[in-house]
Structure 1
Amino acid sequence: MTIAVFYKLLAIFIAVAIGWFVGRMRWLGEGTGGNDPARVLSNVAFYIFAPALLFRTTARLDLASLPWLTLAAFFIPAVLLLLLVYGWQRWRSHAETAAAAPSVQAITISFGNTLQIGVPFAAGIFGEAGLAIHITVISMHALTLLTLSTLLVELDLARARPDAAGLASTLATTVRNTVIHPVVLPVLAGLIFNSTGVALPTVLDEVLQMLGTAVVPLCLTLIGMSLAYYGWPKAWRGVLGLAALKLLLMPALVLVVAHWGFGLSGVPLSVIVMAAALPTGSNALIFAQRYRTQEGETTAAIVASTLLFVLTAPLWLAVLSWLTAS
């Protein structure tokens, strides 16, 4: 753990603590009678700042230069784990369980904090070459995992509606709600714009960049506010289980698939394994708040996994060092 990464973790906890203090003091409202400041801020991030960031990222993406083998070695196991957790949670869910709960838990264990923690970690540990690989993972991260999670949750919601008709109607509703969505629509629009080969106009690029930079600080303070308004979950077993899946199972799965399945080694292997080992990202919370499901559990999982990352990161670095030396 480098000093730069330690300072980044400390800055994250300070931002979360500021959000918690503001929420605890109720400076933005009491959170009763339909007035929930945490959810309002989450909607601002979900409908304004995150779409700007996603559109700009996909519109500027150089698809031809992406290392597709390395990306496949990361995203195939990540998607597999997401689907496995989603399927398991759906199978064991009770009738009173919210329809969106399996998808929220699945995104919590698969979506890592690749930006706030991942970028300084990759730069500090692996240098410029490792950072370049990590940036390619970031470029496809939300596009792949958030889009898939949105599809799953919208399918469940369409199926759970009392007026749900046959299969064709359910699929049509799912596709419509998935495409016309504040996460998926800007991604699709960005890819379509990207395919034209036209550069973003300077003014539009500046506006999108300005809006996109608000995502990180808003989401970090939102985590603290959510802790203040929703409180810590009474059952810690579920929270620690989510954190363990994110910090231990996901990087183990990526390591096995990438090294023994795709034959990766050296810096590319180390970068994607450590990307998989990152704690849960704040986008999982705005996803949970979008569907009003598991907000408290998701918030606690983000905080717990970020704290435990201090212990698990050196463990995975040691495993990778041993694997390289053997």
Structure 2
Amino acid sequence: MIIVPIFGIILIGWGAALAGLLSDKVSEGLSEYVFAIAVPSLIIATLTRPGLDGEISWGYWISYFGGAGMSWLAGSLIARRRAGIERQGAILHGFAASQSNTIFVGVPTILQAYGEEGAFPLFLLLAVHLPLMMGCATFLIEAEAGRSLWQRLRGLGLVLIRNPIFVALLIGMALKQGGIVPSGIPKALIDMFAATASTCALIALGAGLRRYRVLFDLPGAVVIALLKLVVHPLIVWLLATKLFAMPPAYAGVATLFAAMPVGINAYLLAMRYRTETGLIAASLLVSTLLAPFTTIAWLTLLGRA
């Protein structure tokens, strides 16, 4: 079964951290390696692979981001009805309910489920997902802080240009458009780093879970987790399979992309703006712990279990 080794490695990383076999320094260093070197190498290696091609219809984008937008709206509206949550916090609740953990869980899971036929729609969605979701969150939060349009644009530009994943996507797409395929020593180095991405990402995620407190706001964390793991992918699946016409692999990639647990970027934004950090951290942990069960359900529905 696809999901067993993926979440098994996460549990091993978590158990190793709880047992003291992996310290916080090791966990943080491994996460930085995955984010800065391993996954960017995997992106470049995949995008420059000969034969990787395809066409993306508007229905694909509408299906995924339509689901993300509706889940974001639901998360924000629910948060606004709770006492003590300000507008910036409500924005972060919605962002967490729609921001997928693509790097640490999504990429390994989707590539395992769909292989070559899922690689093109996966990495193209990843390329758009990162700047669009982070851009919307940054704009909305900083608008509440009263910052000017120029300050918000400058802040977003700095966030993206310093993001190794975004830079790797730009490099990979530029090489692909130019018909340049790495060879020799550069290719060997890229392939060696890329081969470590999935396992290291899953271990890093598991070890990092030890830092998050599940009991900070369990009811709120469960609401966000259910929006992320059930509502978001359900809307995407309905749009991709019932409203629009697209290859099954594309509909499956969009649905699984949406079905991933809360992404680390939600926690990073909460830390940056110093609001709702405990709740977002708890939702990240709860959604990751529930994800093996919901992912099995989605894989079964998609015929990939």
Q: Could you say which TM-score interval applies, normalised by the shorter chain?
A: 0.7 to 0.9
Identical-residue share of aligned pairs (%): 16
Deviation of 1:23 after TM superposition, in Å, equals 0.9
8 Å CA contact retained: 1:226, 1:296: no
Judged with a 3 Å threshold, the aligned counterparts in structure 2 of structure 1 residues 79 and 10 are, in CA distance, closer, same or farther, namely same
Give, in angstroms, the shift of residue 47 of structure 1. 1.9
- Inter-partner Cα distance in structure 2 for 1:96 and 1:156: 8
Where does the alignment leave 5 or more consecutive residues of structure 1 unmatched?
123-130, 318-326
- With normalisation by structure 1, the TM-score equals 0.71
Q: How does 1:148-227 map to 2 (within 5 A)?
A: 148-156=132-140, 158-159=142-143, 165-227=147-209
Instruction: Report the equivalent of 2:40.
Output: 51
Question: Structure 1 residue aligned with 2:17, among 10, 19, 23?
Answer: 23
Amino acid at match of 1:299: L
Q: 2: CA distance between counterparts of 1:49 and 1:229?
A: 23
Once the two structures are TM-superposed, the CA of residue 24 in structure 1 deviates from its matched residue by 0.8
* Alignment partner, residue 100 of structure 2: 108
1:266-302 deviation digits (Å, cap 9, x = unpaired): xx347624751468547x5443454445334213212
**Equivalence for 1:322:** none
Which one has the largest radius of gyration? 1
Task: Give the equivalent residue in structure 1 for 2:296.
Answer: 310
Going from structure 1 to structure 2, the CA distance change for 1:135 and 1:232 (only over 3 Å counts) comes to same
Structure 2 counterpart of 1:12: 6
Q: Which amino acid aligns with 1:171?
A: L
- Which of 140, 152, 168 is residue 124 of structure 2 equivalent to? 140
2:265 corresponds, among 287, 303, 313, to: 287
Distance 1:174 1:207, change over 3 A: same
CA distance in 1, matches of 2:101, 2:30: 23
Question: 1:300 is aligned with what amino acid?
Answer: V
Structure 1 residues 243 and 313: CA distance shift in structure 2, 3 A: farther
Quick one: distance in 1 between partners of 2:286 and 2:49?
A: 34
Equivalent position of 1:126 in the other structure: none
Partner of 2:274: none
* Counterparts in 2 of 1:216 and 1:285: CA distance versus 1, 3 Å: farther
Per the TM alignment, residue 118 of structure 1 is displaced from its structure 2 partner at its CA by 3.2
How far apart, CA to CA, are the structure 2 residues paired with 1:274 and 1:171?
31
SS in 1 for 2:100: helix
Instruction: List aligned pairs for 1:227-306, cutoff 5 A.
Output: 227-264=209-246, 268-269=247-248, 272-273=251-252, 276-277=255-256, 280-281=259-260, 285-288=263-266, 290-291=268-269, 292=271, 293=277, 294-306=280-292
Cα pair 2:93 2:224 within 8 Å, conserved: no
Note if contact 2:27-2:204 (Cα within 8 Å) is conserved in structure 1: yes
In the alignment, structure 2 segments of 5+ residues that lack a partner are 272-276
Q: CA RMSD in A?
A: 3.6
Matched-pair contact (CA < 8 Å) for 1:47–1:182:
yes
In the superposition, relative to structure 1, how do residues 84 and 251 fare at CA in structure 2: closer, same or farther (>3 Å)?
closer
Are 1:117 and 2:109 counterparts? Answer: yes
**2:86 alignment partner AA:** H
Instruction: Report the CA distance between 1:189 and its aligned residue.
Output: 2.2
Whole-Å separation in 1 of the counterparts to 2:229 and 2:91: 26
Letter in 2 for 1:19: G
Q: Which amino acid aligns with 1:262?
A: F
Structure 1 residue 308: Cα displacement: 2.9
Kindly tell me the number of residue pairs found equivalent between the two proteins.
Answer: 290
Q: TM-score, normalised by structure 2?
A: 0.75
User: C-alpha separation between the residues in 2 aligned to 1:217 and 1:141?
Assistant: 22
